[in-house]
Amino acid sequence: MHGGSSPWFRWLYDCGEYRSHHDARDREIGSVIRDWGVGGAVDVAFISHADSDHINGFEGLFLSGKGLKPRAIMMPQITAIERLVSWCAAVEEGGVTSAFYDAFIANPRRAIASAFGDVQVIEVVPRGDENFSNFDDAPIDVASDGLPAWRVVGPAGDDQSGRPVIQSGSQIRVQAAWTSGYPWVLVPHVAAEITGLRKDFIKALAAGMKISERRLEERIHDPLYVASLLKTQGTKLRAAYRDASPSVNATTLSLYAGPVEEMNGRHQIHYGGRRIRPTERSGRIGWLGTGDAELTGDRLQDFLDVFDQYFLYVKTVTTPHHGSARNRVPALWEALGPDVTAISAADPPKKWNHPSTVVLHDLARHGIMHLIVSSAPRSRVDEFVHYN
Ligand SMILES: [Zn+2]
């Protein structure tokens, strides 16, 4: 986004592919780099979770000397067990791994620092996380080229090692002079982890490795240990994954990007290069990405509590977990209503039924238009928002 001749403010939410669609991924990455220019800054890049299909484009996108340059990366705090489960899912289900991906699984912050250089990494933690009860509301400012770029407003602080952490639901306010009258925010949400779902995986892995569960849980906090597991215990990790079939999407960062109050904006959406809805002049110009979020029970309530105030401005929303039946969330469609467009990123089903028929019917019941974005160039979605 930008105002007249002022610099652009750019953000990104995930970048990757699933099941050997490298060509389609690299085609889109190439087109973004051409548009934004080699070395062009991404003010903040969000990683929703550790699954390969949400991350494996970052290396190409941010390739030193040939790609874009991230200024900050924001991601949820993801436990080592969850990262290992994501890794197993990638190797077992035909996903894509790489040296960067393995390094990310072992130690996300270090992998990002060594691959992309000087970039600020900010982790997002759930509301009510007792490890971070002494947060204060001092805003974090992030400047680019000496100019204020954005500011985090909301509970913020440091983790045990003094690294920046913010609380789910905090607002990232774009700080350029031209936005002062048009308050545009980015709001990340992370729900509390589903701890029960990974117990079986720990149990199976400990049994396979012939060590106690307690010993495994102690050692797993050490990134070097995790790295060595990936190198030498791949077979046992995979066996534990097949045995326990744990939930792979326990922690996902969702993101709202849009206005924080009524704005006079115009919204256009194109599918395969053609306009598919009339240009609308309403305040509905925001975007809501749900990653692979599993929104059930308290987690759904927490999601609604954070985002409810923005629903009125949401125009485009991604279906949780590519429209998987497991991640059905009828309450979200009820709350958003028929003015939104829902998008599922998915290629024709092989193993996974994405998007699922039940989700398509949930959307139909609310009169919500639905688009599938696949590796086919004609399925590309472009949106344009103008406001003044
Ligand atoms: Zn996914």
Q: What per-residue confidence (pLDDT) applies to 387?
A: 74
Cβ neighbors of 153 (< 8 A, separation 6 or more) are: 137, 139, 170, 171, 172, 173
Instruction: Give the pair of three-digit tokens for residue 265.
Output: 């904006």
- Same domain, yes or no: 148 and 233: no
- Same domain, yes or no: 267 and 339: yes
Interval between CA 16 and ligand 1 midpoint (Å): 9
Interval between CA 293 and ligand 1 midpoint (Å): 9
Q: What per-residue confidence (pLDDT) applies to 184?
A: 86
- Same domain, yes or no: 251 and 226: no
Q: Which of 138, 103, 336 is nearest to 227 (CA)?
A: 103
Interval between CA 322 and ligand 1 midpoint (Å): 6
Amino acid at 222: D
DSSP 339-354: TSEEEEE-PSPSSS--
Q: Is the C-alpha dihedral spanning 296, 370, 383, 27 positive or negative?
A: positive
Helices 80-92 and 196-209 pack at an angle, to 10 degrees, of 80
- Same domain, yes or no: 147 and 260: yes
Q: What per-residue confidence (pLDDT) applies to 146?
A: 66
CA-to-CA distance for 301 and 376, rounded, in angstroms? 36
- Same domain, yes or no: 224 and 264: no
Interval between CA 298 and ligand 1 midpoint (Å): 22
On whether residue 47 sits in a domain, the answer given is yes
State the DSSP H helix or E strand holding residue 75, giving kind and residue range, or none if neither.
Answer: strand 72-76
Q: What per-residue confidence (pLDDT) applies to 253?
A: 96
| Other Cβ atoms closer than 10 A to 173 | 19
| Other Cβ atoms closer than 10 A to 77 | 19
- Same domain, yes or no: 239 and 285: no
- Same domain, yes or no: 252 and 219: no
Interval between CA 359 and ligand 1 midpoint (Å): 16
- Same domain, yes or no: 383 and 268: yes
Interval between CA 64 and ligand 1 midpoint (Å): 26
On whether residue 5 sits in a domain, the answer given is no
Interval between CA 349 and ligand 1 midpoint (Å): 13
CA-to-CA distance for 261 and 313, rounded, in angstroms? 8
Q: What per-residue confidence (pLDDT) applies to 179?
A: 61
CA-to-CA distance for 226 and 216, rounded, in angstroms? 10
Interval between CA 31 and ligand 1 midpoint (Å): 22
Q: What per-residue confidence (pLDDT) applies to 247?
A: 63
Interval between CA 52 and ligand 1 midpoint (Å): 8
Q: Which of 170, 197, 162 is nearest to 79 (CA)?
A: 197
- In order along its 388 residues, the chain shows pLDDT tens digits of 777 666 788 999 999 988 778 899 999 999 999 999 999 999 999 999 999 999 999 999 999 889 999 999 999 999 899 999 999 988 987 767 788 999 999 999 999 999 998 899 999 999 988 777 677 777 777 776 666 678 888 888 888 888 889 999 999 988 766 666 667 899 999 988 766 667 889 999 999 999 999 999 999 989 999 999 999 999 999 999 998 876 655 689 999 999 988 887 889 999 999 999 888 788 889 999 999 898 988 999 999 999 999 999 999 999 999 999 989 999 999 999 999 999 999 988 777 789 999 999 999 999 999 999 999 999 999 999 887 6
- Same domain, yes or no: 184 and 226: no
Q: What per-residue confidence (pLDDT) applies to 224?
A: 95
Find the domain containing 137 and state its range.
11-194+247-387
Interval between CA 92 and ligand 1 midpoint (Å): 14
Interval between CA 321 and ligand 1 midpoint (Å): 6
Q: What per-residue confidence (pLDDT) applies to 16?
A: 92
Instruction: Give the pair of three-digit tokens for residue 384.
Output: 């344009």
Q: Tell me, what CATH number does 380's domain have? A: 3.60.15
Partner residues linked to 141 by β-bridges: 151
On whether residue 4 sits in a domain, the answer given is no
Instruction: Give the pair of three-digit tokens for residue 181.
Output: 């009258």
- Same domain, yes or no: 106 and 232: no
User: Where does a domain end: 244, 259, 279?
Assistant: 244
Interval between CA 280 and ligand 1 midpoint (Å): 30
On whether residue 219 sits in a domain, the answer given is yes
Interval between CA 116 and ligand 1 midpoint (Å): 23
Interval between CA 253 and ligand 1 midpoint (Å): 12
User: Where does a domain end: 244, 264, 283?
Assistant: 244
On whether residue 183 sits in a domain, the answer given is yes
Total domains, the chain: 2
On whether residue 212 sits in a domain, the answer given is yes
- Whole-Å CA distances, 246 to 77, 221, 236, 240, 293: 19, 19, 15, 9, 15
- Same domain, yes or no: 208 and 187: no
On whether residue 6 sits in a domain, the answer given is no
User: Phi/psi of residue 110, each to 5°?
Assistant: -65, -40
| 39 SS3 class | coil
On whether residue 320 sits in a domain, the answer given is yes
- Same domain, yes or no: 234 and 94: no
